[in-house]
Amino acid sequence: MRVLVSGAAGSLGRVITVGLIELGHEVVGLDLVPAPEGATFAWHEADCADADAVAAVFAALSTGGRLDAVVHLAGVPEEVSLPDELTSHVITTAALLDAMVAHDVPRLVYASSNHAVGRTPRADGELTVGALPRADTYYGVAKVAAEALLQLFVDRHGLDVVSCRIGSFLEEPTSVRGLSTWLSHGDGLRMVEAALTTPAPGYAVLYGISANTRAWWDLGPGRALGYEPQDDAEAYADRVEPGPYDEAEAEFVGGPFATAQFQRPA
Ligand code: 15L
């Protein structure tokens, strides 16, 4: 497949671009910043929040053959102001979707987040894709809105979209919560590859974590789309020290994002 990866220079992007190339896909990177040193694939520097800039990238790409999919990883990965969150996650998604419709690009894989449902109490039991939107931060609100926009474009234009509500994408888990929410680099790639290739998903949601012994999110929807995680955070449990916030972080799905330190005026 020929795949455009936004946020290609980010922590997810650096792993996913290289991994997709190793799997035999043709990757085009898109980011605000120049390609990392040594990158061997095509790269466009543009702000995904700038619809004209995104349209220009798609126009340039259309001369090089058909684009099969977009993997949208761009966006601030933390809590900032509400307007900045909406720009970073919703406006960027809109610009990419409009360009996809204009150029008949049929599929998008979205890096959504557990924080879209992060305010769900852990006491409610295992989190399934049926969980109602319940953001823990403005970051989470923006992810909810981006997911709604994606669903709208699936309904209006017949696109295929998989929203991956990612847990903690790290080389290894670093907290007690992470033993439940970890997504390994290898499984992150498996997740994106499944979301790119699963036949005709329409609009689908999965929880992006590894096969963690202590998981409290349902892996069934991902498995139904062909995502078979191979790693388990438990292998690192001995190295994870208990922290002062473990108890507070265990109350809600979103962990630290659901605690008072993140509360600020809108
Ligand atoms: C996310 O979505 C964030 O981008 C990241 O900073 C972590 O907070 C992660 O979720 C997590 O929940 O561990």
> Which residues lie below 8 Å from residue 265, measured CB to CB, with a gap of 6+?
none
Q: Over range 13-33, report the average pLDDT.
A: 98
Q: Which of ligand 1's atoms lies nearest the C-alpha of 143?
A: 2
- When pLDDT is cut at 50, 70 and 90, the band that residue 113 belongs to is very high
% the chain with pLDDT above 70: 100
**CATH class for the region spanning 2-262:** alpha beta
Query: Which is the catalytic residue, given 110, 138, 139, 236?
Result: 139
pLDDT at 248 over 90: no
Structure tokens at 166: 């990612």
Identity of the residue numbered 152: L
Structure tokens at 34: 């120049």
Mutational test site, ligand 1, from 79, 114, 137, 191, max ligand atoms within 8 Å of CB: 114
* 130 vs 226 pLDDT, higher one: 226
Arithmetic mean of pLDDT over the chain: 96
- Can you name the residues that pair with 28 across neighbouring β-strands? 4, 42
Q: With both helix axes pointing from N to C terminus, report the angle between 138-157 and 92-102 in degrees, rounded to the nearest 10.
A: 10
CA of 116 to the centre of ligand 1 (A): 11
Q: Output the pLDDT for position 244.
A: 87
Residue nearest to atom 7 of ligand 1 (CA): 168
Q: Over range 48-59, report the average pLDDT.
A: 98
Cα–Cα distance measured from residue 206 to residue 178, given in angstroms and rounded to the nearest whole number: 18
Residue nearest to atom 5 of ligand 1 (CA): 77
Query: Which of 216, 222, 210, 211 lies closest to 120 in space, CA to CA?
Result: 216
- When pLDDT is cut at 50, 70 and 90, the band that residue 76 belongs to is very high
CA of 266 to the centre of ligand 1 (A): 20
Would you kindly state where each structural domain of the chain is located, as residue ranges? 2-262
Q: Which of ligand 1's atoms lies nearest the C-alpha of 181?
A: 13
H or E stretch including 248? helix 246-249
Catalytic, 236? Answer no
Q: Over range 34-47, report the average pLDDT.
A: 94
Residue nearest to atom 2 of ligand 1 (CA): 113
Residue nearest to atom 4 of ligand 1 (CA): 77
CA of 59 to the centre of ligand 1 (A): 33
Lining ligand 1 with CB less than 6 A are: 77-78, 113-115, 166-168, 181, 255
Cα–Cα distance measured from residue 116 to residue 131, given in angstroms and rounded to the nearest whole number: 10
Query: CB of 231 within 8 A of CB of 190?
Result: no
Buried b (16+ CB within 10 A) or exposed e, 167-205: bbbbeebbbbbbbbbbbbbebbbbbbbbbbbbeebebbb
Q: Which of ligand 1's atoms lies nearest the C-alpha of 139?
A: 2
Q: Output the pLDDT for position 193.
A: 98
- The answer to whether the predicted template modeling score (pTM) of the entire model surpasses 0.95 is yes
pLDDT at 10 over 90: yes
Residue-wise DSSP of 91-137: IHHHHHHHHHHHTT--EEEEEEEGGGSTTSBGGG-SB-TTPPP--SS
Task: Write the pLDDT tens digit of every residue in 177-232.
Answer: 999 999 999 999 999 999 999 999 999 999 999 999 999 999 999 999 999 999 99
> Can you say how many angstroms the Cα of residue 132 is from the centroid of all Cα atoms in its chain?
18
Q: Output the pLDDT for position 125.
A: 87
Q: Output the pLDDT for position 245.
A: 86
Q: Output the pLDDT for position 79.
A: 97
Q: Output the pLDDT for position 93.
A: 98
Q: Output the pLDDT for position 91.
A: 98
Residue 71 has φ and ψ, to the nearest 5°, of -110, 110
CA of 113 to the centre of ligand 1 (A): 7
